[in-house]
């Protein structure tokens, strides 16, 4: 019985790694690197596994928030003044972080939270700018809507 209790304790301690939804002291405002499962999305709390489809918001105080999906960033930004924030999104075409306001967003992609907006640095067919992307997310016009999903998924 003692060995079972010790095993349970060890398993609990191993599973209690420190995961953060933000990092402090990002004074230069650039996107931060992270290891798999080191940070989690501030909107949906999913741990980030990789950079693909991730986004970051850097506040003026240097605090950086992480998002696993561009749609999560959009929802988090709702009713916030993001004009003083630096927003970054990882692109599918150039595989790097760019200014999220300059990216174009194409609906119909497979993304971690299934909102379906992939970010691109270069204009691609069917992409929309940042403001339209936000409006579409706020109206629920994303891949979570069965009618929208039906347009993009061929069965």
Give the whole-angstrom CA distance, residue 138 versus residue 154.
25
Q: Angle at the Cα of 118 (from 48 to 141), degrees rounded to 5?
A: 105
* 4, pLDDT greater than 70: no
Each residue's pLDDT tens digit, 131-142: 999 999 999 999
Helix (H, G, I), strand (E, B) or coil at 137: helix
Q: Give all strands (DSSP E) within the chain, no chain letters.
A: 22-23, 55-58, 64-67, 86-90, 97-99, 104-107, 117-120, 127-128
Long-range contacts, 43-47 (Cβ 8 Å, 24+): 43/67, 43/72, 43/73, 43/75, 43/76, 44/68, 44/69, 44/72, 44/113, 45/21, 46/112, 46/113, 47/19
3-class DSSP assignment, residue 119: strand
Each residue of 50-94: pLDDT tens digit?
999 999 999 999 999 999 999 999 999 999 999 999 999 999 999
Q: What's the pLDDT tens digit per position in 32-51?
A: 999 999 999 999 999 999 99
H-helix segments, the chain:
2-14, 70-77, 130-138, 146-152
Half-sphere CA count of 72, side-chain side, radius 13 A = 26
CA–CA dist 76, 57 (Å, integer): 10
Residue 19 has pLDDT above 50, yes or no: yes
């Amino acid at each position: 019985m003692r060995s079972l209790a010790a095993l349970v304790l060890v398993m609990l301690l191993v599973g209690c790694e420190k995961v953060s939804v933000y990092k402090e002291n990002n004074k230069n405002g650039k996107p931060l690197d992270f290891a798999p499962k080191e940070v989690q999305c501030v909107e949906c709390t999913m741990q980030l596994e990789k950079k693909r489809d991730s986004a970051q918001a850097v506040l003026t105080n240097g605090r950086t928030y992480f998002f696993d999906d561009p749609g999560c960033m959009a929802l988090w930004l709702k009713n916030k003044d993001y004009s003083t924030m630096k927003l970054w999104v990882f692109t599918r075409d150039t595989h790097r972080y760019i200014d999220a306001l300059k990216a174009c967003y194409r609906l119909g992609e497979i993304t971690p939270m299934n909102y379906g907006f992939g970010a691109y640095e270069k204009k691609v067919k069917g992409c929309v700018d940042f403001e339209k992307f936000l409006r579409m997310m706020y109206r629920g016009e994303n891949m979570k809507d069965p009618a929208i999903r039906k347009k993009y998924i061929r069965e």
